[in-house]
Chains A and B, each alone.
Chain A
Amino acid sequence: MRITRIVMFAGAAVGAVAVGGAAAPHHDAGGTVTGVITYTGTPPKMKPIDMSKEPTCAKQHATPVMTEGAVTGPGNTLADVVVYVSAGDQGGAQASTPVRYDQKGCQYLPHVAVMETGQPLEIYNDDETSHNIHPMPKLNSEWNKSQPPGTPPIQTSFDKAEFIPVKCNVHPWMHGYFAVLKTSHYTVSGPDGAFKLEGLPPGKYTLTAWHERFGTQTAEVTITGSETQTVKFVFRATPY
């Protein structure tokens, strides 16, 4: 047993050295991982939102906005899935560009906002109504601030990585997420379920795909140069 442990340790050390050699700047060159997020099973049906209690928002939408808990596309594809490097990232400079999050037409845009730990987040109210923005984290501290129309953006950031549900208590249909990650290598699947993660330096990575209702899926990839690899993530959807 003792010998096995040493062997394993040595293996890990060699791996670390091999990975550690690559310190390419993020998103410049490197490999690409693409794919399409799909599901099996039956996802819940998204329902039209009745915004009649907030006429200033209702009038911004020609057709009713649908709920966004599980947005699907043709061919059992799944949108709003965050795909990110959960292990193997070499790290880089702290992201300093603010992430923008909008409250517009009593919706959160985007539905899932991705940011790095410590990265500035700017929350805008583009509506003619007050919103209260209420992130409900478990690891970071929970707060709740009112933001009337025409007031400057709320500037904040989160120190600990987690997926934070966000709601507006005044408009109970408003639900969104802050995905706070320790990596700069992330992307979100589009309405057709497609994703593209670019600029991965050579190395071994664990990719995690996260969906707000259907949990997480992981995949291992090894990038050697500037190649493009395809990874499949299949979620098991349940209606409730």
Chain B
Amino acid sequence: MSIYSRLAALSGAGALLLAVGTTPVRAQESHIGTMTGHAAAGQKLYRRYCVGCHGPDGDGNGENAQWIDPKPRDFTAGLFKCRSTPTGSLPTDEDLFNAISRGFVTTNMPPWLPLPPQDRANLVAYVKTFSPRFATEKPGASITIPPEPAVTIDGILRGRATFQKLECWKCHGPTGKADGPSASTLTDSKDNPIRPYNFAAGLPRFMCGSTNADIYRDFMTGLDGSPMPSFADQLQPAEAWDLVHFLRTLQPLDTPEALIWKQWVATHGSELKPIGPDNGGM
């Protein structure tokens, strides 16, 4: 027996002892579809691609963090903005996988689509090891998103009334320019200043996905750790879809909703009361 194989055998026994001696307190795997991600493989990838911003301890204090706004995510808190699960619950593995794949528009987090899916699954498994919550809690149940109704001017107008009633404008602004009365005071859960989403900036993308269903999901889950609350108890599915359709009219883009809206406003615009404190309910 060579000295090397003896050493290998010894370290193998050591690892086994460690595995037996300590209960596994952290989740080590991720499951995305038929893929299984492994934390050990994810760690190597993390140290190459993620550590610069998110830091070796996953607390968001990487070398680059001081130059970045909004700050990189602190994984130790187990708190994530983009989830399919109710506010206060952990995201699913798919949620984290989608977040890594999609990146976060308006932040420094790029889409990681160039990494093979298996690598992204491994990263999900490793990111989960930073928070003890993943070992002791299960993710919430993903909210269901009913089929989207057809866009109608009546639906858009109802959505507009909801935008007024639920006071979305207090942060996002009466015309979606992120200039509502509370906008300048917003802070995230780490007391860092944070901006509401500016619909008028004309970005075709949203932070947690860019389809109408993604926007619907944002209302229902809230963006945990940010000022955006969950409206799950306040919005019926039909109301939420109406609100999605209205929000699309705030974007200076040729969305189907915006086209219907512009046509209507051209003839009926004078009937509209402006959104805001003096609206008096449509």
**A residues near B227, Cβ cutoff 8 Å:** 132, 134, 144, 169-170
**B residues near A129, Cβ cutoff 8 Å:** 167
A141 contacts B by Cβ under 8 Å: yes
Interface string of A162-176 (1 = CB under 8 A from B): 000000011110000
**B residues near A55, Cβ cutoff 8 Å:** 277
B99 contacts A by Cβ under 8 Å: no
Residue contact A134 to B165, C-beta cutoff 8 Å: no
Residue contact B133 to A146, C-beta cutoff 8 Å: no
Other-chain residue from A136, A138, A145, A172 in contact with B229 (beta carbon distance below 8 A): A145
Q: Is the interface of B mostly helix, strand, loop or mixed?
A: loop
Given the complex of chains A and B, what is the CA–CA distance between A70 and B187 in angstroms?
22
**A residues near B167, Cβ cutoff 8 Å:** 129-130, 148, 170
A240 contacts B by Cβ under 8 Å: no
Given the complex of chains A and B, what is the CA–CA distance between A34 and B79 in angstroms?
41
Residue contact B229 to A134, C-beta cutoff 8 Å: yes
State whether A144 and B228 are in contact (beta carbons under 8 Å apart), knowing that A55-B277, A171-B182, A172-B182 are contacts in the complex. Answer: yes
Given the complex of chains A and B, what is the CA–CA distance between A146 and B227 in angstroms?
10
Residue contact A142 to B189, C-beta cutoff 8 Å: yes
**A residues near B182, Cβ cutoff 8 Å:** 53, 169-172
Residue contact A144 to B233, C-beta cutoff 8 Å: no
Report the minimum CB–CB distance from A206 to chain B (whole Å): 27
Given the complex of chains A and B, what is the CA–CA distance between A195 and B88 in angstroms?
34
Residue contact B233 to A151, C-beta cutoff 8 Å: yes
**B residues near A136, Cβ cutoff 8 Å:** 189
Residue contact A145 to B230, C-beta cutoff 8 Å: yes
Given the complex of chains A and B, what is the CA–CA distance between A133 and B232 in angstroms?
13
Interface residues on A, range: 20 to 34
**B residues near A147, Cβ cutoff 8 Å:** 234
State whether A145 and B171 are in contact (beta carbons under 8 Å apart), knowing that A130-B166, A134-B229 are contacts in the complex. Answer: no
Residue contact A148 to B166, C-beta cutoff 8 Å: yes
Residue contact A170 to B170, C-beta cutoff 8 Å: yes
Q: Which of A136, A141, A142 counts the most B-chain CB atoms under 10 A from its CB?
A: A141
B209 contacts A by Cβ under 8 Å: no
**B residues near A146, Cβ cutoff 8 Å:** 166, 222, 229-231, 233-234
**B residues near A130, Cβ cutoff 8 Å:** 166-167, 170
B70 contacts A by Cβ under 8 Å: no
**B residues near A141, Cβ cutoff 8 Å:** 78, 88-90, 133, 137
| A residues 171-221 in Cβ contact with B at 8 Å | 171-172
| B residues 21-80 in Cβ contact with A at 8 Å | 77-79
| A residues 42-73 in Cβ contact with B at 8 Å | 53, 55
Residue contact A142 to B88, C-beta cutoff 8 Å: yes
Given the complex of chains A and B, what is the CA–CA distance between A133 and B230 in angstroms?
10
**A residues near B230, Cβ cutoff 8 Å:** 143-146
Residue contact A148 to B89, C-beta cutoff 8 Å: no
Residue contact A144 to B186, C-beta cutoff 8 Å: no
Given the complex of chains A and B, what is the CA–CA distance between A143 and B185 in angstroms?
19
Given the complex of chains A and B, what is the CA–CA distance between A145 and B167 in angstroms?
13
Given the complex of chains A and B, what is the CA–CA distance between A143 and B166 in angstroms?
18
| B residues 80-131 in Cβ contact with A at 8 Å | 87-90
Residue contact A145 to B189, C-beta cutoff 8 Å: no
**A residues near B228, Cβ cutoff 8 Å:** 144
Residue contact A145 to B233, C-beta cutoff 8 Å: yes
Interface string of B169-195 (1 = CB under 8 A from A): 011000000000110011101000000
Report the minimum CB–CB distance from B89 to chain A (whole Å): 7
Given the complex of chains A and B, what is the CA–CA distance between A214 and B129 in angstroms?
34
Report the minimum CB–CB distance from A39 to chain B (whole Å): 25
A154 contacts B by Cβ under 8 Å: yes
Q: Which of B182, B224, B229, B234 counts the most A-chain CB atoms under 10 A from its CB?
A: B229
B225 contacts A by Cβ under 8 Å: yes
Give me the interface of B with A, judged by CB distance under 8 Å.
77-79, 87-90, 133, 137, 165-167, 170-171, 181-182, 185-187, 189, 222, 224-234, 277
Give me the interface of A with B, judged by CB distance under 8 Å.
53, 55, 129-130, 132-134, 136, 138, 141-148, 151, 154, 169-172
Q: List 30 A-B contacts (CB under 8 A).
A: A55-B277, A129-B167, A130-B166, A130-B167, A130-B170, A132-B227, A132-B229, A134-B227, A136-B189, A141-B78, A141-B88, A141-B90, A142-B224, A143-B88, A143-B224, A144-B222, A144-B230, A145-B229, A145-B232, A146-B222, A146-B229, A146-B230, A146-B231, A154-B233, A169-B171, A169-B229, A170-B170, A170-B171, A170-B182, A171-B182
